[in-house]
């Protein structure tokens, strides 16, 4: 769902000398940056040599393209889509350009899904030795990576089609690899607790949810280990018109107790936000997982993992309106603590 890319800074500065060629190149670059904005991260060096060269190169573009190019680069930085990687830039490489030297250094510690550069870079020995797929800007839209990027915008699975390992490799690991914040919004995590039995209310967490949420939380805990700041939140709801105030407090405590148990087990705090849903103010219907880099809708919700380790039928896709979902959920009051 979230793919690794690397751009050689010369891609931004090496414009064709003729005006028509320069316009075409810049148009292709804007399309490339929009692709990154949708579901990719851009690997750069910790010293900002590569990003400095990218912004300097874009500053030379024709005015019509310059503003949008710089805006897209800034947006990638603001959304943490530019991931800084430590590297050794002192090694001998075929190209003397500082940005290319740092790019080769990054390839010692990371393996991007594609490296995009000027046309001649496809034959560069320094990149050929890395084994990474290299494409020129003019061939980018025809590359296998461009097809992969489009295909991974949405993943639709039938019941049992994937096992947990494949889902981890294709969804959770790319999503959590560089994430600092993870927020799950699913009102049904709370709503499914509303069970009546023998005239009483005995809330409990369904195995489908407890199994799946622990799986997701464990993946993030493992992949984010060592980061200075990590946030994991779940926000769900309880319907006020179906429960007494006392039952709502009891149901919320079941959910919060589950979060405390996992927090202790994995050594990472899980926040459980339980919201009061009224007839005129409810949580969004959309079920989603939002990180500081990407937002995904999870069409069936978060009872994903079957008992046998296979994945239930689900559609996972890019979520465009993350801000509205967060705003709508945050405005609801919290269920009081016991």
pLDDT in tens, 134-189: 888 999 999 999 999 999 999 999 999 999 999 999 999 999 999 999 999 999 99
For the ranges 58-72, 85-99, 128-142, 199-213, which has the lowest average pLDDT? Answer: 85-99
Share of the chain above pLDDT 70, in %: 91
Locate 179 and state its tokens.
Answer: 């994430």
How many domains are there within the chain?
2
Distance of CA 75 to the CA centre of its chain: 15
247 and 168 part of one domain: yes
Give domain status of residue 241, yes or no.
yes
The residue assigned the tokens 């579901």 is 39
Locate 194 and state its tokens.
Answer: 């509303």
The CA distance from 333 to 336, in Å, is 9
Give domain status of residue 337, yes or no.
no
State the DSSP H helix or E strand holding residue 84, giving kind and residue range, or none if neither: strand 82-85
72 and 134 part of one domain: yes
pLDDT-derived band at 285 (thresholds 50, 70, 90) equals confident
CB 226 within 8 A of CB 219: no
179 and 64 part of one domain: no
| Closest listed residue to residue 31, CA positions, set 14, 51, 7 | 7
220 and 313 part of one domain: yes
CB 220 within 8 A of CB 269: no
162 and 305 part of one domain: yes
Mean pLDDT on 218-223:
97
The CA distance from 223 to 126, in Å, is 30
Does 87 have pLDDT greater than 80?
no
Mean pLDDT on 270-288:
93
50 and 67 part of one domain: yes
Q: Which residue segment(s) compose the domain that 144 sits in? A: 3-151
pLDDT-derived band at 279 (thresholds 50, 70, 90) equals confident
Q: What pTM does this model have?
A: 0.91
pLDDT for 121 equals: 63
Name 17's Cβ contacts closer than 8 Å, sequence gap at least 6: none
Give domain status of residue 336, yes or no.
no
Does 202 have pLDDT greater than 80?
no
∠ Cα 319 286 306 (to 5°): 100
Residue at which a domain ends, from 90, 117, 151: 151
Residue at which a domain ends, from 112, 127, 151: 151
């Amino acid at each position: 769902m979230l793919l690794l890319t690397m751009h050689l800074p010369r891609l931004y500065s090496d414009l064709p000398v003729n005006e028509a060629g320069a316009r075409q190149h810049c148009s292709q670059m804007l399309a490339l940056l929009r692709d990154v904005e949708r579901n990719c991260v851009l690997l750069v060096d910790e010293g900002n040599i590569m990003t400095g060269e990218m912004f300097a190169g874009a500053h030379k573009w024709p005015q019509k393209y310059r503003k949008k190019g710089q805006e897209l680069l800034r947006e990638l930085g603001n959304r943490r889509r530019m991931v800084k990687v430590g590297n050794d830039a002192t090694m001998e490489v075929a190209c003397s350009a500082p940005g290319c030297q740092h790019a080769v250094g990054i390839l010692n510690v990371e393996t991007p899904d594609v490296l995009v550069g000027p046309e001649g870079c496809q034959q560069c020995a320094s990149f050929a030795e890395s084994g990474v797929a290299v494409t020129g800007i003019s061939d980018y839209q025809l590359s296998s990576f461009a097809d992969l990027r489009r295909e991974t915008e949405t993943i639709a699975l039938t019941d049992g089609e994937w096992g947990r390992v494949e889902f981890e490799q294709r969804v959770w690991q790319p999503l959590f690899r560089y994430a600092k914040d993870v927020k799950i919004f699913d009102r049904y995590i709370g709503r499914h607790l509303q069970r009546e039995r023998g005239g009483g209310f005995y809330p409990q967490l369904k195995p489908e949810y407890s199994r799946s949420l622990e799986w997701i939380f464990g993946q993030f805990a493992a992949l984010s280990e060592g980061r200075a700041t990590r946030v994991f939140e779940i926000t769900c709801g309880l319907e006020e018109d179906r429960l007494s105030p006392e039952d709502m407090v009891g149901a919320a405590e079941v959910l919060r107790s589950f979060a405390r148990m996992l927090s202790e087990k994995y050594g990472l705090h899980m926040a459980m936000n339980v919201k009061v849903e009224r007839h005129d103010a409810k949580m969004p219907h959309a079920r989603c997982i939002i990180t500081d880099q990407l937002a995904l809708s999870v069409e069936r919700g978060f009872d994903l993992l079957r008992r046998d380790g296979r994945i239930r039928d689900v559609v996972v896709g890019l979520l465009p309106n993350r801000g509205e979902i967060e705003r709508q959920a945050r405005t609801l009051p919290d269920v009081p603590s016991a």
